[in-house]
Amino acid sequence: MSSREQQPPAAERPLTPLELYSRLEKSNCGRCLLPGCLAFAAAVVAGTRKLADCPALSAEARAELSRALQPRSSSLTPLQADFIDRLEEKIASMDLAAVAPRIGASYSGGVLTINSLGKDFHIDSQGRMSSQCHIIPWVRAPLLSYVTNPTHRPPTGNWISFRELEGGIDWQGLFRSRCETPLRELADASPDLLSDLVELFSGRTVQLFAADINLVLHPLPHFPILISYQAPEDDLESKLTILFDECCGSNLHIKSAFTLCSGLVRMFAQIARQHA
């Protein structure tokens, strides 16, 4: 059976953001407090907006579309949902206009915009998040945590290991097994993967360490990471280390830092499979 035949028909799977967008008014009126109808469609699919937030949709249209959409709880565990709810409550009490310049974000029309790996994510005054790309828990929770973090430092240009971050020693073993080791294996199996990430996620290569590639990515504006990879040669095994700017320990809780990095590695694995 072909891959096309294996896919469920549109009526049996949730709508994608583009499919939902095609059924909207597409006037970009802004009454939902988002940049446009496509951003609203992406937010609804991600579970951060409700169909009722669009005043142009009739009750009949909302009822029809709601049957084709997954509820938020389908993509979040109870603990994740509770954590995100608490972060949203914190954001509702914050002055986002004042927070924006401190964390490297922008603010306009009541919405905070943060760039993550070249993609814009929007957060309103109630902590609800939207983006033109799909929002998943490993992005959503760390991003909200970053906004609400009580301390913040600009990047320093000094690179340190995960274990040197505040609280990193307790998470070092898990970080190595869930992040550095699987990413090294991915790089071994797909030699062009790390170079591709430069184009895919607005990364840049730097000449700092003796390695085949040193790649800097910005999962969050003031949370730069450096992936340093040395390919296997003769009898020598490959090496891969993920380093963090010294500011990262002040800008994100260690658990959120781990969640963010492990999610990135899972996403990179999916990209490698697609390229294969």
Over range 249-270, report the average pLDDT. 94
Check: CB of residue 30 under 8 Å from CB of residue 44: no
Check: CB of residue 130 under 8 Å from CB of residue 46: yes
List residues bridging with 245 in a β-sheet.
159
| pTM across the whole model | 0.73
Q: Which CATH class is domain 1-148?
A: mainly alpha
For residue 263, the tally of other CB atoms under 10 A from its CB is 20
Report pLDDT for 79. 73
Over range 22-47, report the average pLDDT. 85
Q: Where do the structural domains in the chain lie, given as residue ranges?
A: 1-148, 159-275
Any residues with CB less than 8 A from the CB of 249 and at least 6 apart, and which? 160, 164, 165, 166, 167, 168
Report pLDDT for 97. 97
Which amino acid is residue 23, in one-letter code? R
Q: How far apart are CA 66 and CA 60, in angstroms?
A: 10
N-term to C-term CA, the chain: 20
Q: How far apart are CA 45 and CA 18, in angstroms?
A: 10
For residue 219, the tally of other CB atoms under 10 A from its CB is 21
Report pLDDT for 13. 53
Query: How would residue 14 be classed by pLDDT, with cut points 50, 70 and 90?
Result: low
Is CATH 2.40.160 the right assignment for the domain spanning 159-275?
no
